[in-house]
Amino acid sequence: MPAADDSKRKAARETIDILHEISTLLNTNLDRQSLSYCVSLIENGVNPEALAKLIKELRVQNARYEAERGGEAASVA
């Protein structure tokens, strides 16, 4: 089976490659690793819509946090 596994892994990598390319094309700002986690989540039945929402939400929060931090940093400075 190692051969089969190998080919399977290869195929998975290729798929991720393609998806990554599409994702950069679409400017999703997802790195390869995150993308593969997302893929595995979706493959396991997670609602892609919700996942997308989550990611965006997190980004918004991050941005807010960054801004706060920036503000803090500024105030500290």
Instruction: Please count the residues of the chain.
Output: 77
Other CB atoms within 10 Å distance of the CB of residue 38? 20
Task: Indicate whether 73 belongs to the interface with other proteins (CB under 8 A).
Answer: yes
Site for other proteins (CB under 8 A): which residue of 2, 4, 5, 27?
27
Site for other proteins (CB under 8 A): which residue of 1, 4, 26, 67?
26
Task: Indicate whether 58 belongs to the interface with other proteins (CB under 8 A).
Answer: yes
Distance, CA of 27 to CA of 47 (rounded, Å):
21
Q: Are 29 and 45 in contact (CB under 8 A)?
A: no
CA distances to 13, 28, 56 from 60, rounded to whole Å, are 30, 14, 6
Task: Indicate whether 6 belongs to the interface with other proteins (CB under 8 A).
Answer: no
Residues that bind other proteins (CB under 8 A): 8, 11-12, 14-15, 18-19, 21-23, 25-31, 33-34, 37-59, 61-62, 65-66, 69, 72-73, 76
